Amino acid sequence: MIELRDITADNWEAVANLKVAGDQQSFVAPNVYSIAESKFYPGVEIKAIHAGETLVGFIMWGPDPVHNPPEMWIWRFMIAAEHQGNGYGRAAMQAALDHLRAQPGVDAVFLSFEPDNTGADRLYTSLGFRRTGRVEYGEIVVKLEF
Ligand SMILES: CC(C)(COP(=O)(O)OP(=O)(O)OC[C@H]1O[C@@H](n2cnc3c(N)ncnc32)[C@H](O)[C@@H]1OP(=O)(O)O)[C@@H](O)C(=O)NCCC(=O)NCCS
């Protein structure tokens, strides 16, 4: 059972200590960086991904300040290396999308990934994300329309 929990004084260090595999480090910023960044952008939310009582990952979403009109983006997403391949990533992304779909005024969600991140590409495509043709900061931008 996957749950998205708030990040508080009690669990932020555990979230900051979650790591992806060595060869995945270029795919996502360290969680401690993302937690810090989230404090400075209105509307950005950070969540700990739990499988039952076990902390397994981190996700961050919110309006992207760069685009006009504003777009809702998944800013960061990771499952710790030792917990990957168990379906947690798919379930957590689905939970985040369900949450965003229920928000008034949100009719699409964007995210981007490195061109060599084939695992992420496959996951997002299977969830319904489609390529926009945009490349930003060297990453492929995809969009899910609700
Ligand atoms: C992407 C990530 C979050 C997926 O989490 P996960 O818990 O391992 O994913 P799941 O077990 O739910 O697998 C979901 C799908 O992802 C795809 N996938 C994940 N890792 C894969 C890999 N190494 N190779 C191929 N496909 C992969 C599969 O299509 C899988 O499909 P399935 O459900 O039909 O088996 C995780 O691999 C991760 O944290 N990677 C490093 C950080 C990263 O790349 N974040 C995304 C930045 S955009």
Helix H or strand E encompassing 101? helix 88-101
CATH architecture, domain 2-145 = 3-Layer(aba) Sandwich (3.40)
The pLDDT score that the predictor gives to residue 99 is 97
Q: What is the mean pLDDT of residues 81-101?
A: 98
Protein residue with least CA distance to atom 10, ligand 1: 87
Protein residue with least CA distance to atom 8, ligand 1: 84
CA neighbor of 97 nearest in space, from 43, 31, 146: 146
The pLDDT score that the predictor gives to residue 65 is 83
Residue 47 CA to ligand 1 centre (angstroms): 18
Cα angle 13, 23, 19 (rounded to 5 degrees) comes to 10
Q: How many CA atoms lie within 13 A of 73 on its CB side?
A: 21
pLDDT band at 16, cuts 50/70/90? very high
Q: Is the CB of 89 under 6 A from ligand 1?
A: yes
